[in-house]
Amino acid sequence: MFGLAFAMGGAPGGAAGGAGGAGGGMAAFQQIIPLVFMFAIFYFLLIRPQQKKAKEHKALLEAMKKGDNVITAGGVHGKVAAVENDLVTLEIANNVNIKITKSYIAAIKKD
């Protein structure tokens, strides 16, 4: 807020500058530059890695098949007994099957 008030102020001592219109445009441009840099930092440090991770998780879910050993987001380990549209049936013990939503599969174990 202080930067905006400072940019809108006149010349020191209250004297009006001869090129006040050109200086105001430059001040507005200088205020936008930090916002552009902040957005670029947020994009490369936060947004882009999350999008990449989401793409990898989607590929993992599409590659899942019957017989894979998986770990759910809640930490349940099991073997995929069946894959339906958005449901997965896991065998977590002999003759003990549970159904969970496909998106809750966190990883496929490499055995």
As for how many domains the chain has, the answer is: 2
Q: What is the pLDDT of residue 42?
A: 93
Name the DSSP class of 46: I
Q: What is the pLDDT of residue 29?
A: 83
For 11-61, write each residue's pLDDT tens digit: 565 555 544 555 677 888 888 999 999 999 999 999 999 999 999 999 999
Q: What is the pLDDT of residue 79?
A: 96
Q: Is residue 54 domain-shared with residue 18, that is, in the same domain?
A: yes
Q: Is residue 3 domain-shared with residue 52, that is, in the same domain?
A: yes
The CB-based long-range contact list for 99-103 (8 Å cut-off, 24+ gap) reads 100/72, 100/76, 102/61, 102/64, 103/61
Which residues form the domain of 50? 1-63
Q: Is residue 13 domain-shared with residue 48, that is, in the same domain?
A: yes
What tokens were used for 75? 């930490």
pLDDT above 90 for 88:
yes
Q: Is residue 57 domain-shared with residue 4, that is, in the same domain?
A: yes
pLDDT band for 4, please (50, 70, 90 cuts): low
Q: Is residue 26 domain-shared with residue 58, that is, in the same domain?
A: yes
Q: What is the pLDDT of residue 95?
A: 93
CATH of the domain at 93: 2.30.30
Q: Is residue 105 domain-shared with residue 77, that is, in the same domain?
A: yes
Q: Is residue 35 domain-shared with residue 73, that is, in the same domain?
A: no
Q: Is residue 44 domain-shared with residue 80, that is, in the same domain?
A: no
Q: Is residue 98 domain-shared with residue 59, that is, in the same domain?
A: no
Q: Is residue 76 domain-shared with residue 57, that is, in the same domain?
A: no
For 49-86, write each residue's pLDDT tens digit: 999 999 999 999 999 999 999 999 999 999 999 999 89
